[in-house]
Amino acid sequence: MSNVTVTTWSLEQTAPTDLLPAVAPDGDVRIVRAEVSSPEFSRFLYASVGADIRWTDRLDWTYAQWERFLDRPGVETWVAYDRGTPAGYVELEPQDDGVVEIVYFGLIPAFRGRRIGGHLLSYGVARAWDLAERVPGRAETKRVWLHTCSLDGEHAMDNYLRRGFQLFDTEVEEKPDVATPGPWSGARAV
């Protein structure tokens, strides 16, 4: 198996005023919290958004692993819909000491390039900053962070920087060049 060089950048915001919101896109784009824990839906979003950018770490998760993650206090999934169709999502995971990680964020390929991504990221970051309002006993958010890498979409880093994130760490490593089965695994090629 061959390897690929992957650069991973970690970015953060340390105050709600760091957020530079994007303009909402034209049309009927809505962002809704998935309030019912659904491993099926979360796996659909993960596989559909990450299929072409090598998201593989959760592909072998069992139903029980999805359930355990989604049922953790404060984990939230916010989904963007374009005219009723899921277009992408942002997943928040609270950590210790008022830290919230944006664990996953992205759009299904057919919805990229429509200005939905900046809007969804802005909304998701705002929800990370006000997470304590929805989670009893949760400390106020003091820091929101995420990581992106050279395998992510070509506009990912620019979107994060435009939303006010600041780079705090860079790592370069060799990783196995793993082909992703995509959202259509098991289907015959046309």
For residue 173, what are the contacts with CB-CB under 8 A and spacing of at least 6? 5, 6, 8
**Which residues, other chains included, contact 133 with Cβ-Cβ below 8 Å and sequence gap of 6+?**
none
Tallying the residues shown for the chain, one arrives at 190
Backbone angles phi, psi at 77, to 5 degrees: -120, 120
pLDDT tens sequence across 45-77: 999 999 888 888 898 999 999 999 999 999 999
Please determine, for residue 154, whether its predicted confidence score (pLDDT) is greater than 90. no
Q: Which two tokens stand for residue 95?
A: 């950590």
Q: How confident is the model at residue 176 (pLDDT cuts 50, 70, 90)?
A: confident
What is the pTM for the complete model shown?
0.93
- Which CATH superfamily includes the segment(s) 3-176? Gcn5-related N-acetyltransferase (GNAT) (3.40.630.30)
Instruction: Residue 13: name the closest of 186, 161, 180, 150 by CA.
Output: 161
Q: State whether residue 67 is helix, strand or coil.
A: helix
Kind and range of the H or E element at 24?
none
The whole-number pLDDT of residue 151 equals: 87
Residue owning tokens 């008022």: 98
Domains of the chain by residue range: 3-176
